[in-house]
Amino acid sequence: MTRPREQTAAPGLAVTQAFVATTPSRVSRSNAEIAQDFLDLEFRMESGRALPVLTRFEGPITVALAGQVPGSAPADLARLITRFRNEAGLDVRQTASQANITVEFLPRRVIQGTHANVACFVAPRVSSWEEYRSARGTGTLDWTTLRQRDRVAIFAPADSSPQEVRDCLHEEIAQAMGPLNDLYQLPDSVFNDDNFHTVLTGFDMLVLKLHYSPALRSGMTQAEVAAVLPGLLAKMNPAPATGRSHNGGRTPQAWSTAMESALGPRGSAGARRAAAQTALAIAHAQGWKDSRLAFSWFAVGRLNIGNDPLAATKAFSEAARIYRGLPGAQIHAAHVDMQLSALALSQGRPDQAIAFADRALPVVKQAQNASLLATLMLLKAEAKGAQGDAAGAKSLRLDSQGWARYGFGSDAVTRARMRDISALVPSGLRLALNG
């Protein structure tokens, strides 16, 4: 799994806020659907290439940090390892010597020089950047030739926000140990390129627990794994939900390409809006009612905020309606609420802006997304200011700063975000308040 490149990062800031441990989310899906998702995750790569057998580490798993390690990384790794041990029952530990999984931190420009639109990535059979560079162009880095995992390397940016560092640790270590694929239809997983979930979910921990079940082993074929999955899930998830959260099936490349064009950094505004409409049309043609349709509506909304606010509001409302009906998609709906809060603020409706923010804030805190949490707090602060509550606005801005430092990485980026949000308030409303 790779994370899209972000531009809002700077090194060297102390973390002034940290999330406390939260209760793991329950997996609210049927075991039959989970079994199919597990097979789809385990026996195919993001590129579409098939993986012939299941591979994993056999025995205890060690993790080491190397390179220009950010100050926040050791504590976040320790919290993640605790979750692996407590929630998935995995024998994972940190070491300072040779490890099964080495996380090497490098300048962002070095990673971009190899993969231009990637923040972090994982590679097999190597333990350092030098080994990786020497192995490029050979079969060493080919996951399809593995029969058992022995050592892998993760490359992550050293000059990044603490939240992006943590997100890379969660996603890439989970991939280094477990599935190599992402599925857009999963509503409750970081194994999804929509990037709404930033930390491992209850579903992800269940997948890793399955991956390292004593009933499985490296070298098993898909048919062999499929034969034992129902029994394993009956024991590990004894009270499953019923019904389906997604339509299943492989996601057409045309839809993925359209979404990448719509939400990527390249192309004119008009071309990106057209790409979002193409993705939405494909979703409807496929008959999807799942997170892929919701994500298509979300993209249409995002790209119409400045062009057609009414169309954006309609699109976000459709996305929210679908997300709220899916298990594990509360954080997706909270992202929509943030957009709706910003739209309400820009339209001179501070009361509605506050209502949207208030609905999202507890969900975002549970999901441990500091950048989104700070953004919602700043939106609410501006809305309170627009209502004439200067004291309430000031208090919220102060409270947001610790989360902003963790999420955005620098005071300069935080100030820029504050300016952007402040600019949403209509000038007429400001004049009325100041007059």
Q: What is the pLDDT of residue 428?
A: 52
Separation CA 97–CA 75 (nearest Å): 18
SS3 breakdown of the chain: % helix, strand, coil, rounded to 5?
Answer: 55, 5, 40
pLDDT digits (tens, 9 = 90+) for 223-242: 999 999 999 999 999 989 88
Residue 5: predicted pLDDT: 40
Directed axis angle between helix 253-263 and helix 291-304, to 10°? 30
Stretch 200-216: mean pLDDT: 97
Task: Enumerate the β-bridge partners of residue 93.
Answer: 62
CB of 339 within 8 A of CB of 319? no
**Residue 20: what pLDDT?**
73
pTM of the model: 0.92
Residue 337 near residue 359 (C-beta atoms within 8 A): yes
Angstrom distance (rounded) from CA 329 to CA 75 = 27
Fold assignment, 31-236: Collagenase (Catalytic Domain) (3.40.390)
- Report whether pLDDT(11) > 70: no
Q: What's the mean per-residue pLDDT of the chain?
A: 92
Q: How many angstroms from the chain centroid is the CA of residue 130?
A: 28
> Is residue 120 pLDDT above 60, yes or no?
yes
Residue 262 Cα distances to 182, 278, 290, angstroms: 19, 9, 19
Collapsing DSSP states into helix, strand and coil, what is residue 96? coil
pLDDT value, residue 13: 39
List, for residues 271-295, the tens digit of each pLDDT value. Answer: 999 999 999 999 999 999 999 999 9
Task: Identify whether the C-beta of residue 415 lies closer than 8 Å to the C-beta of residue 401.
Answer: no
- Cite the DSSP H helix spans in 88-155: 108-114, 129-135
Strands (E), 77-135: 92-94, 101-106, 121-124
CATH 1.25.40.10 residue spans of the chain: 253-434
Q: Poorest-confidence range of 5-14, 256-265, 294-303?
A: 5-14
CB neighbourhood size of 289 (10 A): 16
Is the pLDDT at 6 greater than 80? The verdict is no
- Residue 120, CB-side half-sphere exposure with 13 Å CA sphere: 26
Cβ neighbours of 137 (radius 10 Å): 8
Taking the C-alpha atoms of residue 23 and residue 38, their distance in angstroms, rounded to an integer, is 23
Residue 221 burial (CB count, 10 A): 12
| 253-434 to CATH, choices 1.25.40.10, 3.40.30.10, 3.40.50.300, 1.10.3720.10 | 1.25.40.10
Ranges for all domains in the chain classified under CATH 3.40.390.10: 31-236
| Token pair listed for 398 | 């102060």
Residue 3 has pLDDT above 60, yes or no: no
Higher pLDDT, 273 or 15: 273
For residue 12, the model assigns a pLDDT of: 40
Question: What confidence tens digit (pLDDT) does each residue in 411-431 have?
Answer: 899 999 999 999 999 865 554
- 152's enclosing H/E stretch is strand 152-157
